[in-house]
Structure 1
Amino acid sequence: MPVVALTVLATVPKIPFTDISLTVPYAAEGPGPVFDTLSEVDGQPVVSIDGTQVDQTSGELNMTTVSVRTQMTLAQALARWATTDDTIVPIEQVIPPNHSPEDIEEQNKAAFTRSESAATIAALNHLGRPVKVTVAELVEDSPAQGVLAPEDVITSVDAQPVSTPGQVQELVRAKKPGDSVALGIRRGETDRTVELELAESPKNKSVPMLGILMISTPADGVSVEYNLQDVGGPSAGMMFSLAVIDKLSPGELNGGHNVAGTGTISENGEIGPIGGIQHKVTAAHGEGAELFLAPKANCQEALAGNHGDMAIASVETLDDSIHAMEAFSSGKDFPRCS
């Protein structure tokens, strides 16, 4: 699973007057930048919320990253191994065979976008606020092209009400290519029903394809935007979700403390494991974090990071993370990585 990462691609060194590269087939992974999701970056809130009153926050909810360096010479790789806490890994772990760095960057950006959507919905579900399914993009030459449009809201599938992309996918995938599906659509102020014939997925001809990319969006006029650039992968999800909850609920979710963490998140609030967590723990400790929220499946790796006296909580759900912060602030026990 890709990590939230900043990929640094240096100019490829070559033997003069030849096309022979001097780089080694390894990458260096190390602690990356830390971003406070309650603060600003480049003059904009990392998490921007409009359409409702936003509560004042304090302390920090830090999203951690892994810095990835590729296209190193042997001397550069050895220097990073000898003088830093970087982990030297085969390049295939970062850029799989038959993929270019540009491919990986696009995949990481797409994963980051999906994590933003899931973070928003997990937070709104936690707060009991309504959500809706919105069409983000159409797949070229798909059944949806020419029928649906970006910003359409899908209200039902075969007359069954839906409010998350997962519900739409489940109902569509219960069918076969060639089957018809009736979608309830709201476009602007108009509601209507459209019928489409499902196509075959290019990757698996037995899987039906509608041909849209969906996101969950607030249904009560609230708008949530995330303003980070040059960061990819899905592991910012949990911290983004906590920031949204903190801004849309009274009080301080972190108790005013410096809290950091990492983990993927699903729309139902489940937190998943990520890669490179030992470097994220090291980065958080270096920024003065008092508490680190780590996916339970990553606990052993998390303890390998330089964490000093920073507490590392073991969490599996969004509720676990909130309870860990509450317990830490009040001096009570909570599940820790051990």
Structure 2
Amino acid sequence: MMDFQQNAEADEKSPDRIDAVIVGAGFAGLYMLHRLREQHISVRVIEAGSGIGGTWFWNRYPGARCDIESMEYSYSFSDELRQEWHWTDLYASQPEILRYLNYVADKFNLRRDIQLETRVIAATFDDDLERWKIQTDRGDRLSAKFCIMATGCLSVPKFPNIKGLDSFKGNLYHTGRWPHEDVRFTGCRVAIIGTGSSGIQSIPVIAEQATHVFVFQQTPNFSIPSRNMPLKQEYERWWKSNYVEHRRRMRESPIGMLIPGKRNWSAFSVTPEERQKEYEVQWQIGGYKFICSFNDIMINKESNDTAADFVRAKIRTVIKDPAVVEALLPYHYPFGAKRLCVDTHYFETFNRDNVTLVDLRNG
């Protein structure tokens, strides 16, 4: 390998000189590789994992599933790809999304430009050469015109700073670094720390296996039922026959998803009874799009309060224990101010005899 301290002429002759380096082989990295190749740009993708997939390679915890509909959470650059791939569920599971990404990598012959089990440890821009000098933990030294970070926002797991964690004698797992082999909790007492999206997805599944589950919650979250189901063939046909139009509407929607109808009404442009009826309709449909029931939920506090009150009322109808209900109700931030969660029987899980909620705000 040539040393980057050598002069520009030597750098021109370096065998590691390429047009672009992409860091990360998840959804964004794979797509960028494909697009740059189409423009005849030489590319190398550097990926830390032993396989492609990014978020969906690392996050293999029980219940891991996308909270955006499968037909929307997929590539749009190839009509052939979108017509020939068939999703199983309305909301795809982690294993299926990973299969999809591997299918894409094979279909478009992407693997030959992907270097696995490698981390970028330095990237410095040389003003004189107008090139990036990139170094990996395997000793690679690359010179590139472009350095594209496709690392996403979930590439570094956050471990809790808990006293004694390093001396814990039991099995310790993190949802963002879940083992590739199957983990069974039968006969185990399990503590789950955190009730964000991954906690909300994994808690119901783990509770079905474990002897007892203790859920440690700092901040309660708003969550909408997904109403997940096998993807209906007629829905898939409708989607694929109108694909270009659906994608156009997604690009123009406030949340980047396909919103049914124009949704051009305010929460206070209708009567309270009509508003409750609309919320009920969207609740029964389920999913993240509930946040677009009215067009001013995210810009008007009074409108936001009506949505928050509706969701809290729904949570109250599910959970039997009044003390548990109050602990799970989110009050201290607006509805949608934090990423809205989508669940499958999350709140119902707290009615199980083998599940205990530990509210960290009270002690």
Q: Identify whether the pair has TM-score above 0.5, normalized to the shorter chain.
A: no
Which structure features the higher share of helix residues?
Answer: 2
TM-score under structure 1 length normalisation = 0.25
Question: Bigger radius of gyration, 1 or 2?
Answer: 2
TM-score under structure 2 length normalisation = 0.24
| Larger RCO (CA within 8 A; separation ≥ 6) | 1
